[in-house]
Structure formats: structure tokens, C-alpha cells
Amino acid sequence: MATIMFKGSPVHTCGTLPATGSKAIDFNLTGAGLADMSLTSFKGKRIVMNIFPSIDTGVCAMSVRRFNKEVERMANTVVLCISADLPFAASRFCAAEGLTNVVTLSELRPPRHFGENYGLRIIDGPMAGLLSRAVVVLDENGTVIYTEQVPEITQEPMYEPVVELLK
């Protein structure tokens, strides 16, 4: 269990992020158009998982915009923006913002194991049930090469280490 903050108050996640060097756990999430997506959908690519509570918050929206911009400098890389948002809301946001370099994925359909498997489900406080803000980076073989559990939900992740790692 990780302790993070929400507006200065402690909240907890159901576990911890996967260890660097471990194999990523496969997932089944819902993409735009309600298509099922898994890690195998992105086989052979480096993956940046930009994970957050909801695209309808300012900080989450900023992280999607920033990773959309940064991925242009990262060869053979896909950015997955993962939340509990409906696929329609995430697609609508990206269309309105002109964001075409990220893939939005949702925990729409059960079973909803992504949050538990990656240790990111918030288990208490006002955002209980949603995903905490985190970044998980995988290499082309699905090995975890970087993680960041953002300590305060209202803060953006650290982009620079991800960009430097994937240049």
C-alpha cells in the first residue's frame, strides 16, 4: 500500500507500482470506439502509461497535453492515457484539444483489474475507487524501466525523466 496525498490529506492505494526490471502485467482496457486493448495491442513499442483519476480535472488534462507533445520526440513509443473515464469523454477531450499522439484507455468494463494489478486503486478518501496519478514506462519487451507514483494527486508527474529515458 502506498500513502499519497490529496490536497494535503493522506489517502492510500491498494498496493505499490511494479518494480523496475519486472515484466508488466497484461491488462484489458477499453479504447476509443469501445475496442478492447491489451499490452499485446502495442507489442514491440515502448509504452508510457500516463495514469490518472480523470481527464476532467485540470492536472490530468495538462498531463495528457504534455505527453501528447513529448511523444513526438520519442521513437517507437506510444503514450497510453489510462483512467476510469468513459472512452467517449476521453475521446471528446482529445478531439477538442487536437491531441492525436496519445491513446486513451478506460477501465470501463469489468473485470477491472488494472488498478489492483498495478497497485494504483485509491482505497479511501474522496477519490476512492479511482486510479492514482502515476507513470509507468515499459521497454519494447514489456519490461518496466521507470515508475513514478506522484506523491500529491493535484501535482503533475515529472516529465523530464521519461523524456530523457526515451530520447
Enzyme catalytic residues:
60
The C-alpha atoms of residue 38 and residue 110 are separated, in whole angstroms, by 14
DSSP-derived secondary structure for 84-115 = SS-HHHHHHHHHHHT--SEEEEE--SSP--HH
Nearest to 158 by CA among 143, 145, 144, 147: 147
- Nearest-5° Cα angle at 24, 17 to 135: 45
The C-alpha atoms of residue 11 and residue 123 are separated, in whole angstroms, by 8
Cell of 31: 479504447
